[in-house]
């Protein structure tokens, strides 16, 4: 990602310890790699040990500045153990990026309680568990940054992704609440709301057909999807010492998509019923 290296001085995050949840793939892996290239000591956390292991060489070719921990963010005890292991390895955690998430398209009347629970526990409860686990050491040091990854529909809502919309709205409220609660204790809390950024896994579940991808592309006035390095540039800025007076803010990065249409998946309500059912089926 030459844009990250070109925009910032090479040692911007030197010896800063950063924990990225959901760091084994997608935007989490991209952010972790950017942090590492800029001098950071990076820990990635996720449920899939094989995926985390495969990501480490891409994040840190030297193998000296990264660490992977297997944990499910839905499990508070597992998160506490993971944070203890990372702290033992690197001495502390300076930055937490709450990126772990889950999502799928579903007609809400057909959504099971377990399906709703799985998403809300990952996104909302998981963000709380990780934040609560790192907060004591940050507050004791009077220094720390928490960056939450939300979505543009956190404030508009969106059809067909009700669990994610509800959970992301909760994370946004948590971001703003903690920013006020902890501002005078040296901890900043911000959020990024990405629009459509192609990734492995989530992308195929949310854009399972060429038609659905074309529909998403047509919603954005910029006429394209986001590039990972663009989001990484923003994340690096927000977690760095270049933004010490920014807290409680959510920065949208979507090429103007939500302003033009709102409710990222709400347009699917106009898809004929049979076609929509087939789309949902292919999205699982």
Catalytic residue ranges: 153
**How distant, in Å, are the alpha carbons of 36, 212, 261 from that of 39?**
5, 39, 39
How far apart (Å, rounded) are the C-alpha atoms in residues 284 and 281? 6
Tokens of 161: 């992704």
Q: Which helix (H) or strand (E) holds 206?
A: helix 202-206
Neighbours of 228 (CB within 10 A): 21
Kindly compute the dihedral angle of the four CA atoms of residues 204, 208, 212, 216, in this order, to the nearest 10 degrees. Answer: -10
Closest CA to 98 of 213, 238, 265, 269: 238
CA distance 65 to 1: 18
Q: State the sign of the Cα–Cα–Cα–Cα dihedral 181, 183, 187, 188.
A: positive
Please state the φ and ψ torsions of residue 276, each to the nearest 5 degrees.
-65, -40
3-state SS, residue 110: helix
Q: Which residue, 233, 162, 226, is CA-closest to 1?
A: 233
């Amino acid at each position: 990602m030459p844009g990250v290296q070109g925009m910032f001085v090479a040692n911007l995050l030197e010896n800063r310890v950063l924990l990225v949840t959901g760091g084994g793939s997608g935007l989490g892996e991209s952010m972790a790699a950017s942090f590492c290239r800029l001098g950071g000591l990076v820990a990635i956390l996720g449920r899939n040990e094989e995926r985390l292991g495969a990501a480490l060489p891409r994040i840190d070719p030297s193998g000296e500045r990264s660490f992977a921990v297997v944990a499910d963010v839905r499990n508070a005890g597992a998160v506490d153990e993971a944070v203890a292991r990372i702290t033992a390895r690197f001495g502390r955690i300076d930055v937490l990026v709450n990126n772990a998430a889950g999502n799928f398209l579903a007609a809400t009347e057909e959504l099971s309680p377990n399906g709703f629970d799985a998403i809300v526990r990952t996104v909302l409860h998981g963000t709380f568990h990780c934040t609560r686990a790192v907060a004591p050491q940050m507050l004791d040091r009077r220094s720390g940054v928490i960056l939450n990854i939300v979505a543009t529909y956190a404030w508009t809502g969106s059809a067909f992704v009700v669990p994610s919309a509800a959970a992301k709205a909760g994370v946004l409220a948590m971001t703003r609440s903690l920013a006020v609660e902890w501002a005078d204790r040296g901890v900043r809390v911000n959020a990024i709301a990405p629009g459509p950024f192609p990734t492995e896994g989530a992308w195929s579940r949310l854009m399972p057909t060429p038609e659905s991808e074309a529909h998403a592309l047509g919603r954005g006035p910029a006429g394209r999807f986001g590039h990972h390095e663009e989001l990484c540039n923003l994340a690096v800025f927000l977690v760095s010492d270049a933004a010490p007076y920014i807290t409680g803010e959510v920065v949208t990065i979507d090429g103007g998509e939500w302003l033009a249409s709102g409710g990222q998946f709400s347009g699917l309500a106009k898809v004929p019923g049979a076609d929509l059912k087939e789309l949902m089926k292919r999205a699982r």
